[in-house]
């Protein structure tokens, strides 16, 4: 939070701010000291806020035309596409918006992994982020069910059946989730309700996420603590606002490309066939952003253990601040971690690829190796690296490496810091 006291200039401002300090909050947000070396990977927080608002606004509009009933849902979506003024545009923005949201969140997460943004004192920001990510997956899954196409129906069937793997109570839980003996109208109406609710839960968590961020302030590419405010920081407005705005424009170009030139490329043709409980599509695949976890699920031959592995793959992220034992945040100064980081990126991409392929033969083998490596990275590599890795000297400030100070001096200072 800002260190200095803020007093509004006008008398009305003073009067209002004494009663509700909104102007103090606004002043904090504009003056908020930000490390001056933030690169474009840091712009995805703002981009994600844009994605959330876009989904809420387009979703709100779609809900005015959509009918959550098993007999009418599919037709009402076609009605939106054909009859509603600009319905096609709004629905394509919403559907592709989900993909863009995940694209941005994956970049945001991997930014944190590279620069060690999850480490002390930012563990709570990280954990709130993981909860947001989980809610995003739930919202995306339930949203995908709403058009009541073949993929909607069978995706819902397969995913809800995952709970049947729980010993003893599994079947009861699945019946409870369905509100019947199969995915049907009661399932659709509750999914619609929850799909409507979750974005607002996410919005609340985003406020907490940013609040928690503003306590220690931003991490930065060098990964050192910066004095605030100082020569190492710039005020959020206008410096970061302009940079975020520019990045957002670039992002919107990509977004618009999908919406206007290939709105269905990220979806499945099967979902334009109305749900039929008697016929399963030949090849059931989740949306691209869930594929790595789907690959982990299928790589384990046992039903229960497969579900356990898939959930562990997500929840292990919450433990990351304690699994990574290195005191150095940024991978810039961690030559070994940097290599393992890129192996992990490749590993997740490979998992995503095999998740889209049939689970047999070579694909299954690759999925198993990649799954094993995923857990190895978090449970073995990261804890050991903290002790084994010879890290590079870190600068004392962001300004120091640019404005002078001999490397020897920097090394000496660094050792001094590490010995503290």
Question: How many residues make contact with other proteins (CB under 8 A)?
Answer: 33
* CA pair distance 114, 135, nearest whole angstrom: 23
Is residue 180 involved in binding other proteins (CB under 8 A)? yes
The tokens of 66 are what? 């959509």
CB of 47 or CB of 183, closer to other proteins = 183
The region of 3-11, 87-95, 172-180, 388-396 touching other proteins under the rule CB under 8 A is 172-180
* CA pair distance 207, 215, nearest whole angstrom: 13
Is residue 10 involved in binding other proteins (CB under 8 A)? no
Is residue 157 involved in binding other proteins (CB under 8 A)? yes
Is residue 181 involved in binding other proteins (CB under 8 A)? yes
The region of 130-138, 170-178, 217-225, 335-343 touching other proteins under the rule CB under 8 A is 170-178
CB of 249 to other proteins, least distance (A): 42
CB of 337 to other proteins, least distance (A): 36
Task: Measure Cα distances from 377 to 253, 317, 340, 348, 385 in Å.
Answer: 35, 11, 8, 11, 10
The region of 83-91, 159-167, 198-206, 217-225 touching other proteins under the rule CB under 8 A is 159-167
Is residue 168 involved in binding other proteins (CB under 8 A)? no
Cα 127-131-135 angle, rounded to 5 deg: 165
CB of 20 or CB of 278, closer to other proteins = 278
Nearest to 312 by CA among 298, 334, 327, 293: 293
Is residue 236 involved in binding other proteins (CB under 8 A)? no
Nearest to 152 by CA among 177, 118, 187: 187
CB of 317 to other proteins, least distance (A): 25
CB of 284 to other proteins, least distance (A): 5
CB of 279 to other proteins, least distance (A): 6
Residues 349-368 that bind other proteins (CB under 8 A): 358-360
Is residue 186 involved in binding other proteins (CB under 8 A)? yes
The tokens of 211 are what? 């609040």
CB of 92 or CB of 153, closer to other proteins = 153
CB of 14 or CB of 283, closer to other proteins = 283
Q: Is 233 helix (H, G, I), strand (E, B) or coil?
A: strand
* CA pair distance 185, 68, nearest whole angstrom: 8
Task: Say if CB 146 and CB 195 are below 8 A apart.
Answer: yes
* CA pair distance 283, 275, nearest whole angstrom: 15
* CA pair distance 35, 235, nearest whole angstrom: 9
Among 7, 30, 39, 182, binds other proteins (CB under 8 A): 182
Residues 303-342 that bind other proteins (CB under 8 A): 303
Nearest to 153 by CA among 264, 281, 66, 65: 281
Is residue 158 involved in binding other proteins (CB under 8 A)? yes
- Give Dmax over CA atoms of the chain in angstroms: 75
Provide the mask over 261-300, with x wherever binding to other proteins is found by CB under 8 A and - wherever it is not.
Answer: ----------------xxxxxxxx-------------x--
* H or E element in which residue 52 lies: helix 44-63
Neighbours of 364 (CB within 10 A): 17
Instruction: Tell me the Cα Rg of the chain.
Output: 24
CB of 7 or CB of 182, closer to other proteins = 182
CB of 119 or CB of 268, closer to other proteins = 268
Handedness of CA 278, 281, 284, 285 (dihedral sign): negative
CB of 10 or CB of 182, closer to other proteins = 182
CB of 190 or CB of 228, closer to other proteins = 190
Enumerate binding residues for other proteins (CB under 8 A).
154, 157-158, 160-162, 164, 175-184, 186, 190, 277-284, 298, 301, 303, 358-360
């Amino acid at each position: 939070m800002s260190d200095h006291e803020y007093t509004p200039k006008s008398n009305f401002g003073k009067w209002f701010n004494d009663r509700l300090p909104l102007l103090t909050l606004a002043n904090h947000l504009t003056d908020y000291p930000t490390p001056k070396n933030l690169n474009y990977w840091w712009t995805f927080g703002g981009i994600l806020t844009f994605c959330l608002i876009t989904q809420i606004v387009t979703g709100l509009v779609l809900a005015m035309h959509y009918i959550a009933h098993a007999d009418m849902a599919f037709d009402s979506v076609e009605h939106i596409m054909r009859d509603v003024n600009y319905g096609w545009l709004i629905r394509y923005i919403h559907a592709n918006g989900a993909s863009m949201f995940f694209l941005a969140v994956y970049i945001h997460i991997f930014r944190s992994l590279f620069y060690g943004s999850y480490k002390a004192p930012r563990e709570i920001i990280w954990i709130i982020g993981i909860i947001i990510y989980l809610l995003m997956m739930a919202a995306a899954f339930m949203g995908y069910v709403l058009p009541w196409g073949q993929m909607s129906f069978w995706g819902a069937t397969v995913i809800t059946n995952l709970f049947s793997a729980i010993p003893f109570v599994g079947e009861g839980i699945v019946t409870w989730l369905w509100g019947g003996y199969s995915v049907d109208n009661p399932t659709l109406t509750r999914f619609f309700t929850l799909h409507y609710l979750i974005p607002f839960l996410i919005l609340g968590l985003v406020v907490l996420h940013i609040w928690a961020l503003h306590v220690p302030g931003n991490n930065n590419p060098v990964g050192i603590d910066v004095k605030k405010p100082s020569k190492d920081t710039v005020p959020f407005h206008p410096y970061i606002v302009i940079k975020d705005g520019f990045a957002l424009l670039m992002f919107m170009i990509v977004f618009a490309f999908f919406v206007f030139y290939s709105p269905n490329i990220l979806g499945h043709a099967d979902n334009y066939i109305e749900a039929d409980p008697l016929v399963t599509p030949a090849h059931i695949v989740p949306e691209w952003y869930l594929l790595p976890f789907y690959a982990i699920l299928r790589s384990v031959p046992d039903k229960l253990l497969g579900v356990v592995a898939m959930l562990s793959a997500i929840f292990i992220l919450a433990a990351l601040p304690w699994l990574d034992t290195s005191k150095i945040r940024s991978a810039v100064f961690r030559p070994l971690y940097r290599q393992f980081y890129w192996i992990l990126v490749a590993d997740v991409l490979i998992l995503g690829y095999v998740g889209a392929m049939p689970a047999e033969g070579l694909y299954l083998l690759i999925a198993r190796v990649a799954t094993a490596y995923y857990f190895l990275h978090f449970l073995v590599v990261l804890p050991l690296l903290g002790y084994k890795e010879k890290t590079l000297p870190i600068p004392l400030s962001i300004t120091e490496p640019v404005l002078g100070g001999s490397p020897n001096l920097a090394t000496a200072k660094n050792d001094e810091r590490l010995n503290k």
